Amino acid sequence: MSPSHALTTHPLTATAAGEHLRRLRRQARLSQLELSLITGISQRHLSCVETGRAKPSPSTLHALLSALDAPLEQRNEIFLAAGFAPRYMASTPDAPAMAMVHDAIEHILQANNPAPALVIASNWDITAANASAGLLMAMLGVQTTQPSGLNLLDTLLRPGGLGDHLVNADEIRAIAWQRAAREAFSNPELAELLRKLPGPADLPLSPALSPVVLTRVRSAQGELNFLSTFTTFGMPQDISVASLRIEHLIPADRQTWQVMTAAYAQWSAAAV
């Protein structure tokens, strides 16, 4: 390889990494100055990295990708684009290290009863759920034997699914679509699913959003209201672990607590 050829290699890889970083920053709706203040990296250097005039060091890449909360799989792609080895591995489901993760997830699911809880994979497949999640689906008449047979995005957006039972369906569908659209940049499987589902990518959000968004469910027992919150694994170094999240549907009022508590008590008595 000639010296002149060697000189052109790094700027090309740096440019590819910079383009990825610029797209992630814009997705996060951050200016270069804002990202600079968050990471402590000068705005000038950040600009040079994004345009390919400077090659980022591994530590700079790590700081930027962490601040932008990029998925681990996408971080690997950007490290490769910058000419570095990928940093994160993906364990197989039957790997010994994953047994501890699955045990922890099972404990969290059971501890949440009578509040529904779902384990959601990176493509929004529901991979596990507690008894209360199944009871809620049964109350609504959603056609499934187990929540773990569903894709949450599909059942929210497709007619005939869970979304049809929401009082504030437009609001929840818009939030779900916009979140999935951001995640789809680094997830081809999710991007393909979005292409098959109804609804434009730019569904508008209500201009008068409350600081707290309730999932308002229409049921035979009356309207049930839930606060949604997520559990993820802190500081994951494995793609398989980082891709999992647990959605907790916490009853937001006395009536919802009473309905879910009664349903779970009846199910528990029948299961003995």
- Which residues on adjacent β-strands are paired with residue 215? 226
Q: Where are the domains of the chain?
A: 7-81, 96-271
Burial class of residue 129, CB neighbours in 10 A (0-12, 13-18, 19+): buried
Q: Identify the pLDDT of residue 203.
A: 53
**At 221, phi and psi to the nearest 5?**
-90, 5
pTM over 0.75: no
Sheet of 245-251: strand order equals 126-129, 117-120, 245-251, 222-231, 214-219
Q: Among 1.10.8.60, 1.25.40.20, 1.10.260.40, 1.10.10.60, what is the CATH number of 7-81?
A: 1.10.260.40
Torsion, Cα of 226, 68, 121, 252 (10° steps): -10
Q: Identify the pLDDT of residue 45.
A: 95
Please write the tens of the pLDDT for every residue from 107-119.
999 999 999 999 9
Please write the tens of the pLDDT for every residue from 11-51.
345 678 899 899 889 988 899 999 999 999 999 999 999 99
Average pLDDT over residues 70-90: 85
User: Which CATH fold would you assign to the domain 96-271?
Assistant: Beta-Lactamase (3.30.450)
Residue 214 in tokens: 């309730």
